């Protein structure tokens, strides 16, 4: 196992480890400890991230190019902190039963995400992307757990003069999300019908391709990539996958993907 710090491990006493084949595992959550996290302590724990951003942003290769900073959405971070592991197989009922606890935790998470966003911008990030990897778990209380806290982060970032990309993976209604949250760009997942998305969503769109396509063959890859590029050719679009690249993906398939996108006219 490899220990790695994320928000849940920033001075909270909630240990975070990554275990092969299982993903992140978190220790006990102490709300009182979280309430007393010192902002300076938080900044020090994440200082290596800000130094890396600063060093990257100062590289001449990035001249006239944007540098994207990333944060997890409040809902997804809350899920990991309470569930203590990936919710793929089991989601803790405490998330929905203890509403007072969850409300307090969301306030703390939001507070430090705002600080994290500010620090990344100061270090050179010119765009912020908010990842809500587990947005698709919710069928009810979407406004309370996803819309409201995400909107607070989006508005905070916009007030700092920086555009925002949102990725509410698996959410039932991307159009409604865009209408409520008003990000500058929306990242769609691979279950979204791209033809429907291009008709309903007016803002720039990113992503969509199923990462599993990269596990097939070049002929199928070519067909799927060109499909997305054709659908979005008259719409502001940033080509990307509809979720993270899979570990078993061959590098030659990634190289072919990049070539297809660059050569498209």
d(CA 252, CA 38): 46
For residue 132, name the pLDDT band (cuts at 50, 70, 90).
very high
Look at 89 and 93; give whichever has higher pLDDT. Answer: 93
pLDDT over 70, % of the chain? 92
pLDDT of 148 above 90: yes
Average pLDDT over residues 210-218: 97
Strand partners, 209: 241
Length of the chain: 265
Q: Can you give the pTM of this predicted structure? A: 0.89
Class of domain 65-263: alpha beta
Q: Which of 140, 131, 208 is nearest to 172 (CA)?
A: 140
Share of the chain above pLDDT 90, in %: 66
Tokens of 20: 């092969």
Tokens, residue 168: 């509410």
Q: Compute the mean pLDDT over every residue in the chain, rounded to the nearest whole number.
A: 89
Tokens representing residue 118 in the block: 């500010």
The mean pLDDT of 126-146, rounded to a whole number, is: 92
pLDDT tens digits, one per residue of 93-113 = 667 778 888 899 999 999 999
Give the pLDDT confidence of 218-229 residue by residue, as tens digits: 999 999 999 999
Average pLDDT over residues 45-67: 88
Instruction: Report the pLDDT value the prediction gives residue 9, as an integer from 0 to 100.
Output: 46
- Residue 249 confidence (pLDDT) above 90: yes
């Amino acid at each position: 196992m490899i220990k790695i710090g994320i928000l849940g491990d920033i001075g909270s006493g909630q240990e975070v480890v990554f275990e092969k084949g299982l993903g992140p595992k978190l220790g006990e959550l102490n709300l009182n400890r979280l309430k007393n996290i010192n902002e300076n302590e938080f900044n020090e724990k994440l200082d290596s991230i800000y130094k890396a951003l600063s060093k990257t942003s100062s590289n001449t290769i990035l001249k006239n190019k944007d540098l994207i900073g990333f944060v997890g959405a409040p809902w997804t971070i809350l899920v990991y902190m309470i569930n203590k592991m990936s919710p793929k197989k089991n989601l803790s009922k405490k998330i929905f039963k203890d509403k007072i606890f969850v409300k307090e935790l969301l306030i703390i998470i939001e507070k430090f995400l705002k600080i994290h966003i500010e620090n990344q911008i100061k270090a050179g990030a010119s765009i912020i992307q908010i990842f809500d990897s587990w947005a698709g778990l919710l069928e009810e209380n979407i406004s309370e757990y996803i819309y409201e806290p995400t909107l607070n982060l989006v508005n905070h970032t916009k007030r700092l003069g920086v555009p925002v990309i949102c990725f509410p993976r698996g959410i039932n209604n991307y159009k409604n999300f865009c209408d409520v949250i008003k990000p500058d760009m929306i990242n769609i997942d691979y279950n979204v019908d791209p033809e429907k998305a291009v008709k309903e969503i007016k803002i720039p769109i990113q992503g969509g391709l199923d990462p599993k396509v990269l596990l097939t063959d070049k002929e199928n890859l070519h067909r799927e990539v060109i499909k997305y590029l054709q659908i979005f050719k008259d719409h502001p679009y940033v080509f990307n996958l509809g979720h993270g690249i899979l570990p078993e993906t061959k590098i030659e398939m990634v190289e072919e993907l990049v070539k297809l996108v660059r050569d498209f006219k």
